Structure 1
Amino acid sequence: MPLIHAQSISAGYGDSRAISDVILTLQNGELLALVGANGAGKSTLLRVIAGAHRPTAGTVSFKDSDISRLTDFQRNKLGISLVPEGRRLFASMTVIENLIVGAGSGRAGAWNVESVVETLPMLKPLLKRNASRLSGGQQQAVSIGRALMSNPEVLLLDEVSLGLAPIIIDELYESLSVVRQSGLGIILVEQDLARTIAVADRIMCLLEGHVVLEGKSGDLTHDQITDAYFGHSIGSFSEPDLTTEEGVQA
C-alpha cells in the first residue's frame, strides 16, 4: 500500500495548464525526486498533493483513503507536510515560535523542538532570533524544522537548495539524511541533478506538465535524465540557456 497515490492529476492556473494526467506513487520510507525545468509543473504537483492547490481532474489518496476533498490543513493533520519554495516563515516571529507553529497539527511523534534542533544544529543559537534576521540557509532550516514539528509521514520539499551556498546545501542534506532514518516518505523537488541522483530512490522527470521519464535512480544515467529534462527524446523542445535560471546544475 503506497503512502501517496496521485491518479491522473491535471491542474493549472486560469487558462494555463501546469500538469496533465500525472500519476505518482510514494512508498513508505522512499525518497522520490521530481526534476524538470522551471515551469515543468513540479511545484504545482507538490501543492496538489499537499492540498494547497485544487486540481481540475484526478484524485489523491493517502494510505488508500481518498483525500482529494480535504484542505491542506486537514491533510497536515493526517501527516502530509509541505516545505514550500520561498520558505514562507512568519518574519516577525522568532525561530522557536515558527517551529511551534508547525506543531499545530497536534500529531504525536518523535519530532519536537529538541529533536529538530538536534537534527538541524544550525538552529540552536538562533532560537530567539526573529526570522527576518536569518540568512537564506537558516530560513530554509527553520522551514524544514517547522514541517517536521507536525510529525509527518510524508514530507514534501520544494527547491531545498535554491539560491543557497554549497556549504549550506551540504549541511541541509546531511540533516535530511538523518530525517530519512525516521522512515517517512519524501518527495523532493531539486534542480541539482548530481545531488538528486545521489540521494533519490526514484526519479520522475516532468516536461511541460507531463511525466516523460521515471525510474529507480540506480537504473537511470545522468544523460538519460538530462535528455528527458530538455525534451531531447521528444523532439521539438529547445534546450534552455544553462546560464539562466531555466538551466539545470550538472
Structure 2
Amino acid sequence: MSLLSAQLVSAGYGDSRAVSDIVLTLAPGELLALVGANGAGKSTLLRVLAGAHKPTSGSVWLKDVDISPLTDFERNRLGISLVPEGRRLFASLTVLENLMVGAGSGRVGEWTADRVVDTLPMLKPLLKRNASRLSGGQQQAVSIGRALMSNPEVLLLDEVSLGLAPIIIDELYESLAVVRQSGLGIILVEQDLSRTVAVADRIICLLEGHVVLQGAAGDLSHEQITDAYFGHSISSFSNPELTTEEGLQA
C-alpha cells in the first residue's frame, strides 16, 4: 500500500492549467524529488497534495483513504505537513512559539520541541527570538521544525534551498538526513539537481505540468534529467510507460 498517492490530478488557476493528469505514489520512508523549471507545476502539485489548492479533477489518497474532500487543516491532522515556499512564519511570535503552532494538529509522536531543536541545532540559541529577526536560513529551519511538530507521516518540502547560502543549505540537508531516519515519507521540490540526485530515492521531472521523466535516482543520468528539465527531449509524452496510470506508478 502506498503512503500517499495522486490519481490523475489536474489543477490550475482560472483558465490556466498548472498540472495535468499527474499520477504519483510515495512509499513510507521514501524521498521522492520533484524537479522542473520555474512554472513546471511543482509547487501547485505540493499544494494540491497538502489540501491548500483544490484540483479540477483527480483524487489524492492517504494510504487507502480518499482525502480529496478534506481541507489542508484536516489533512494536517491526518499526518500531511507542508513546508511552503517562502516559509510563512508568524513574524511577531518567537521561534519557540512558531514551533508550537505546528503542535496544533494534536498528533502524538516523537517530534517534540526538544527533538526538533536537537535535529535542527541552529535553532537552539534562537528559541526566544522573534521570527522577524531571523535570517533566511534560520527561518527555513523554523518552518521545517514547525512542520515536524505536527508529527507527520508525509512531509512536503517546497524549495528548501531557495535563496540560501551554501553553508546553510548543507546544514539543513544534514538535518533532513536525520529526519529521514524517523521513517517519514518526503516529497521534495528542489532546484539544485546535483543535490537532488544525491538525496532522492526517486525523481519525477515535470515540464509544463506534465510528467516527462521519472525513475530511481540511481538509474537516471544527469543528461537525461537536464534534457527533461529544459524540454530538450519530450519523447516521454508519447511513451506509453508514462501515459498510463500503471506506468506512472511504476
Does TM-score exceed 0.5, indicating one fold? yes
Q: 1:64, CA displacement in angstroms?
A: 1.0
Match of 1:39 in 2: 39
Instruction: Name 1:220's counterpart in structure 2.
Output: 220
Q: Secondary structure at the match of 1:60?
A: strand
Q: Give the gaps of 5 or more residues in structure 1.
A: 236-250
Q: Work out the percentage of aligned pairs sharing the same amino acid.
A: 83
* Counterpart position of 1:247: none
Whole-angstrom CA distance in 2 between matches of 1:222 and 1:171: 24
Aligned to 2:46, what secondary structure does the other structure show?
helix
Question: Post-superposition, which runs of at least 4 consecutive aligned residues in structure 1 deviate over 3 A?
Answer: none
Name the CA distance, whole Å, in 2 between partners of 1:221 and 1:64.
Answer: 34
Q: Secondary structure at the match of 1:29?
A: coil
Question: Following superposition of structure 1 onto structure 2, how do residues 130-209 of structure 1 map, counting pairs within 5 Å?
Answer: 130-209=130-209
Q: State the match for 2:25 in structure 1.
A: 25
The aligned counterpart of 1:107 is 107
Q: Counterpart of 1:25 in structure 2: which amino acid? A: T
Matched residue, 2:4: 4
Long gaps (5+) in structure 2: 236-250
CA distance in 2, matches of 1:88, 1:119: 21
Shift of 1:234: 2.1
Report the 3-state secondary structure (helix = DSSP H, G, I; strand = E; otherwise coil) of the residue aligned with 1:157. strand
Looking at structure 2, the residues matched to 64 and 32 of structure 1 have their Cα atoms a distance apart, in angstroms, of 19
- Compute the TM-score of the two structures, normalised by the length of structure 2: 0.93
The answer for the alignment partner of 1:93 in structure 2 is: 93
In the alignment, which residue of structure 2 is the partner of 1:15? 15
Instruction: Count the aligned residue pairs.
Output: 235
Alignment partners' CA distance in 1, 2:51 and 2:35: 21
Which residue of 2 is the match for residue 54 of structure 1? Answer: 54
Secondary structure at 1:225's aligned position in 2?
helix
Secondary structure, aligned partner of 1:18: strand
Q: State the AA in 2 paired with 1:114.
A: D
Please state which structure has a larger fraction of its residues in helix. Answer: 2
Q: Tell me, in whole angstroms, the C-alpha distance in 2 between the residues paired with 1:39 and 1:192.
A: 16
| Partner-residue secondary structure (3-state), 1:28 | coil
Kindly provide the amino acid, as one letter, of the partner of residue 152 in structure 1.
P
Q: Secondary structure at the match of 1:7?
A: strand
Query: 1 CA distance for matches of 2:185 and 2:201?
Result: 11
Instruction: Provide, for residues 23-43 of structure 1, a one-character-per-residue CA deviation record: whole Å limited to 9, x for no partner.
Output: 010000000000000000000
